[in-house]
Every structure is written in structure tokens, then in C-alpha cells.
Amino acid sequence: MKERISPYFLKEVKPHVPEAWINLDATKIGYEISFNKYFYRHKPLRSIEEVSADILRLEAESDGLIREILSFTLKCLFKNRTYDEQTGI
């Protein structure tokens, strides 16, 4: 088997990775199956409109909880300062 590994290595690996080497004492015969390569099915990403609609729907379901959290955070950040909600300053 060592005779077959060396030509393959020189032909398929060395041109791409010149510093590569083989430890023949640790070499094992076997197979590696890439499950992603054979079984993965790509699902296209949702459009930005769909994602935005979901976020807005969840916000409505939460009765403005996100808005309250963000408002509370801003109040804590600007505790010692005056904060104008219209200008954001």
C-alpha cells in the first residue's frame, strides 16, 4: 500500500501544499465520508422584508417590550444627563 500512497501524494497533494509530508508509520487505510457534501440541502435565506415583518410582528406580540427595554437602557445610560427623545441627544 505504501507504493500507492506515495504517487498519489506527489500528484494530488504536493502541488497544492509543497511543505506537506506523510508519516507512513501513522498512515491508516480507510475512508472519510463528508456528510455535508452528500446530504446537505441548501435553504435560501429569507428576504429582508420577511425578516423585518417577523421582527415587527414579534414586537407587536410583546406589547412593545423591546421598546421598553431600549428606552430603559437609554435612561440608564443618560441618568445624569438630560435626554431629548425627539433628537436622541
Cβ within 8 Å of residue 89, ≥6 positions away: 83
For 21-66, the pLDDT digits (tens) are: 888 888 777 777 888 888 889 999 999 999 989 988 888 888 777 7
CB 5 within 8 A of CB 27: yes
CB atoms within 10 A of CB 13: 13
pTM of structure: 0.33
Residue ranges of domains in the chain: 2-30, 46-89
pLDDT at residue 49, rounded to an integer? 92
Q: Strand runs (DSSP E) across the chain, as ranges?
A: none
What are the distances in angstroms from CA 73 to CA 53, 69, 76, 77, 87? 24, 6, 5, 6, 17
